[in-house]
Amino acid sequence: MRYVMFSKHLQPLPLREMGQAIARLGLGGVELTVRPGGHVRPERVDEDLPRAVEELRQLGLEIPALAVAIHRRDEPHAAAVCRAAGRVGATVLRTASRRYAPFGTIRDQIAAARAEARHLESLGREYGVRLCIHCHSGDWLSAQGGVLATVIEETEPRFVGVSLDLGHLTVEGGDAGWRQSIDLLQDRVGIVAAKSFGWFPVPDPITGGTRWPARVVPLAEGSAQWREAFRLLRQLGWDADGRALVSLHSEYQGVNSWRDLTIPELLDQTGRDLAWLRQQAADAAPDPPGPARALPT
């Protein structure tokens, strides 16, 4: 298993300083932002991505994955980003699903998203990358594993996968829903995003009652059952070659976090998360199944 860090949370730092901080944590690589406002801007991907990859590799870090903003192949810079990613060996491209809105039109929205998934497959096939749609709670078409599985079911798993975010899946399916999502998406897991949530009471200004929004909390304190998730994933053959990707999403800033941390505090918490997550993975022995199923190559 390979542990990397999503670079969004260190966006204010220059690239080299960000890489040095990640290396000091004992992580092996970076999930680098290549999207508007990211460490690499899409319009400069041909010039800046190779330089960024080389600079991070000099620090002993690999860049196996990028966070991108691609839904269709005819979007500006979509082909250029996929081509540049393939050339530097960053073959896992994590992207967002479409937003869900308005209510009452979900079947039409799923149909449109299925057409866009074929665009992702076309890009992946041409440039040798795998576009992975991120599981995200709330008003996204990837909030539930069943909907996301329907969106991508007619595409080739080698080229269209998912970024399995156990925290977000637990928000939407805290009892067994997250297990069912893993089961449905079992041959699509291109990268696992590590975060967890807790629920916090806040006054509702509209009703005068109480709402319970989910906020990101340290992995050891959240609702996501990481040891059990690792066990189930391994039962499916995930990480059979020891190369599976886990990306730490240290979203410990702003109103969606249980606390708004400074960057030094965020890095300290990420180090604790990494140690705890490694222990969960070490303790997650799979059930004794039959032979592991080969994953897409």
| pLDDT at position 285 | 78
Count of domains in the chain? 1
Q: pTM of the entire structure?
A: 0.94
In a domain, 291, yes or no: no
Judge whether 14 lies within some domain. Answer: yes
Any domain includes 218: yes
Domain membership flag for residue 297: no
- The CATH number of the domain where 143 resides is what? 3.20.20.150
Query: Is residue 86 domain-resident?
Result: yes
Return the pLDDT at 288: 59
Q: Is 289 contained in some domain?
A: no
Domain presence at residue 260: yes
Question: Which stretches of the chain score pLDDT less than 50?
Answer: 290, 292-293
Q: What would the pLDDT profile of 225-276 be if each residue is shown by its tens digit?
A: 999 999 999 999 999 999 999 999 999 999 999 999 999 999 999 999 999 9
72-88 pLDDT tens trace: 999 999 999 999 999 99
Q: Which amino acid, residue 93? A: L
Residue 38 lies in domain? 2-283
